[in-house]
A and B are shown apart, each in its own frame.
Chain A
Amino acid sequence: MTNDVIEVRNLVKDYGSFRAVDDITFTVPKGKIVGFLGPNGAGKTTTIHILLGITTATAGHISFFGKDFNHHKQHILARINFASAFNTLQGRISVWENLVVFSHIYEVKGYKKKITDLIDYFEVSNMLNSLYHDLSAGQKTRVNLIKSLLNDPEILLMDEPTASLDPDIADKTLTLIEQLKKDRNLTLLYTSHNMSEITRICDEVIFLDHGKIVAHDTPLGLTKRIRSAQLRLIFNDDKKILEDYLTQENLQFTFEDEHTVTIKTEEELIPKLIFSISKTGIWMTDIEVKKPTLEDVFLQIARGDVHES
């Protein structure tokens, strides 16, 4: 029996002659956090809007919990939720009033306690009676997150939810997400431009570019697709000896100063390279290996250098 709670097959979205989402297929397993990455205009937000039912797909099939989205929309929407830094709640009414409204719409039982618990966690209890439009961007995002957790969703779709949060609250938000995943097996589809966030919380990453999935892997698996790494050495001896050796070995290198060099090579060759350099008599005082990050993958994908294998 499949453990996938979101299943998307051959999803297409055309706006006239422009194809925003181009035949994408993916699944999201229960209890996993899947990051949705890609450059601006890659189709991430359009896909999320289709998954939420506020934009219609041109073609394709979507199911949540094994049920067809088009035929069980109300049932499914009651079990999922959405948070974004880009949409807000009703500005003319207070934070508490907004949360009461959504508690009724989601039929939250014991909503007063639920709201109180969440506002305590997100440290917004002092602004409970403030009008929503008077809040700062970071405070609004926190209230949006509370709204998105009111109905105890089994699946949470998040579109850059930490975009305007200060580092402390962003960290708390990520910690809460990790906690929710652990305690309640929460499934998340998460878009962000913050690569360290994605690396920290995501089990899988889907890279979109020009509406297509160009890579779908674990964060580690994706970084391993970039085979090159950088070796940064600080040494005591004459620069000329090392420069001659690196030139002789046909390696790419850059001297930062007289005693610091960065060498670009394949990750698996680094131990051998360090050994070879030491054999030249160079005394290395510091060795730093810079492995490829998700950001490097992102940049390479944006430039069209990495493709789904």
Chain B
Amino acid sequence: MSMNLNRIKGILIQEFFITLRSFEVISDIIIFPGTTLILFGLLATYLAGITNITVAYSLLMGMLLWHIITIVQYSISVGSLWNIWSRNLSNMLITPISLFEYICAYTFSGILKAIIMITSSAFLIKIVFHFNIFDLGIANLGLYTFNLILFAISFGMVMLGLIFRYGTRIQAFAWGILPIVQPLTSVLYPVSVLPGPLQTIAYLMPPTYVFEALRANVLNPHIIQWNLFTISLGENIIYFALATWFFIAMFNQSKNLGQFARLEG
């Protein structure tokens, strides 16, 4: 599978221009995560005063890491929506860019945005709330991020496949489904808090293991939770394979039904 960097660069340039000119995108990747983190930072500060500081730190870190999923999947699915809203999608699809390059470009864009969000949030958290995200260890952060990005890519591809297939009538899924998934992945509390059947569902979600590892690392930052990472990675590989299959099936079905022409008709 060959990859042409110029074509990927073309999409990244478009993403850059759209981001610069769209308050919505800036809100979604900087302002909303920023305000959420301030809220959780204040809550964490309050909790740190009345309970164990590790609980406060877990809450804040859980919320910060959750935004990695949000931003990467948002970039993959909403990036294409910008082109659908502008009736520009078919112009993109008739270029020599391959589907692989197309997805890679939006994934890179999402990762870049996530890096910007994490870096700025790390400063904010450190300066305002005196929490240091690197206390968890660089290796741990790297492993968390890797698994969360992988999940976000799979999730984003499923959303994009649905958007390609069903058009803008299901566009709200692009930003509306993740908040439903969030409680099931135990971002802010241990899985044991969930009712029994929901625990089973939680364990089918790769991010759950990341957040469980996070809570373990808050208590003991120097031990990498390999067992949790391995399960998360294993599930992520299955999710990624299924998401790729689903996305390609939706894309082909859209072409077969003439959906790309209708999206712009």
Q: A and B bound?
A: yes
A54 touches B90 (CB 8 A): yes
Considering the complex, which residues of chain A in the window 14-58 have a beta carbon less than 8 Å from any beta carbon of chain B? 15, 20, 45-46, 49, 52-56
Chain A residues closer than 8 Å to B9, beta-carbon distance: 104
Chain B residues closer than 8 Å to A15, beta-carbon distance: 257-258
Q: How far is the CA of A95 from the CA of B230 in the complex (A)?
A: 48
Min Cβ gap A263→B in Å is 46
Min Cβ gap B217→A in Å is 41
Point out the residue from A54, A94, A97 that lies within 8 Å of B93, measured CB to CB. A54
B256 touches A90 (CB 8 A): no
B252 touches A86 (CB 8 A): no
B261 touches A101 (CB 8 A): no
Chain A residues closer than 8 Å to B227, beta-carbon distance: none
Chain B residues closer than 8 Å to A20, beta-carbon distance: 258
Q: How far is the CA of A93 from the CA of B6 in the complex (A)?
A: 20
Taking the complex as formed, is B7 at the interface, i.e. its CB lies under 8 A from any CB of chain A?
yes
Known A-B contacts A54-B261, A88-B86, A105-B97; the reply to A147 vs B91 at CB < 8 A is yes
Q: How far is the CA of A92 from the CA of B81 in the complex (A)?
A: 12
Point out the residue from A45, A74, A81, A133 that lies within 8 Å of B261, measured CB to CB. A45
Which residues of B approach A to under 8 Å, CB–CB? 4, 6-7, 9-11, 13-14, 17-18, 21-22, 82-83, 85-88, 90-98, 252, 255-258, 260-261, 264-265
Identify the interface centre among A55, A75, A86, A97: most chain B CB within 10 Å of its CB. A55
A93 touches B18 (CB 8 A): yes
Min Cβ gap B257→A in Å is 7
Known A-B contacts A56-B252, A78-B96; the reply to A88 vs B22 at CB < 8 A is no
Residue on A with the closest CB to B92?
A: A105
Identify the interface centre among A87, A102, A131, A132: most chain B CB within 10 Å of its CB. A87
Taking the complex as formed, is A77 at the interface, i.e. its CB lies under 8 A from any CB of chain B?
yes
B17 touches A93 (CB 8 A): yes
Q: How far is the CA of A20 from the CA of B262 in the complex (A)?
A: 14
Q: How far is the CA of A81 from the CA of B143 in the complex (A)?
A: 44
Q: How far is the CA of A15 from the CA of B257 in the complex (A)?
A: 7
Chain B residues closer than 8 Å to A87, beta-carbon distance: 87-88, 90-91, 264
Taking the complex as formed, is A106 at the interface, i.e. its CB lies under 8 A from any CB of chain B?
yes
Residue on A with the closest CB to B264?
A: A87
Chain B residues closer than 8 Å to A75, beta-carbon distance: 96
Residue on B with the closest CB to A133?
A: B86
Point out the residue from A74, A86, A102 that lies within 8 Å of B98, measured CB to CB. A74
Min Cβ gap A89→B in Å is 5
Min Cβ gap A266→B in Å is 43
A104 touches B10 (CB 8 A): yes
Interface extent on A, as a size class? 35 or more
B17 touches A101 (CB 8 A): yes
Question: Chain A 111-148, CB within 8 Å of chain B: the 1/0 string?
Answer: 00000000000000000000111000000000000010
Min Cβ gap A76→B in Å is 8
Q: How far is the CA of A97 from the CA of B83 in the complex (A)?
A: 14
Q: How far is the CA of A131 from the CA of B10 in the complex (A)?
A: 18
A90 touches B82 (CB 8 A): yes
Extra 19 A-B pairs, beta carbons < 8 Å, given A52-B94, A147-B91 = A20-B258, A53-B93, A54-B93, A54-B94, A55-B256, A55-B260, A56-B255, A75-B96, A86-B264, A88-B87, A91-B86, A92-B86, A100-B13, A101-B10, A101-B14, A102-B91, A102-B95, A103-B10, A106-B95
Q: How far is the CA of A90 from the CA of B14 in the complex (A)?
A: 9
B96 touches A74 (CB 8 A): yes
Q: Can you give 6 contacting A-B residue pairs, CB < 8 Å?
A: A49-B90, A53-B94, A54-B260, A102-B91, A105-B96, A107-B7
Chain B residues closer than 8 Å to A190, beta-carbon distance: none
B10 touches A105 (CB 8 A): yes
Q: How far is the CA of A189 from the CA of B86 in the complex (A)?
A: 25
Considering the complex, which residues of chain A in the window 62-93 have a beta carbon less than 8 Å from any beta carbon of chain B? 74-75, 77-78, 81-82, 86-93
Chain A residues closer than 8 Å to B94, beta-carbon distance: 52-54, 77, 81-82
Q: How far is the CA of A303 from the CA of B15 in the complex (A)?
A: 49
Chain A residues closer than 8 Å to B13, beta-carbon distance: 97, 100-101, 104
Residue on A with the closest CB to B255?
A: A56
Min Cβ gap A94→B in Å is 8
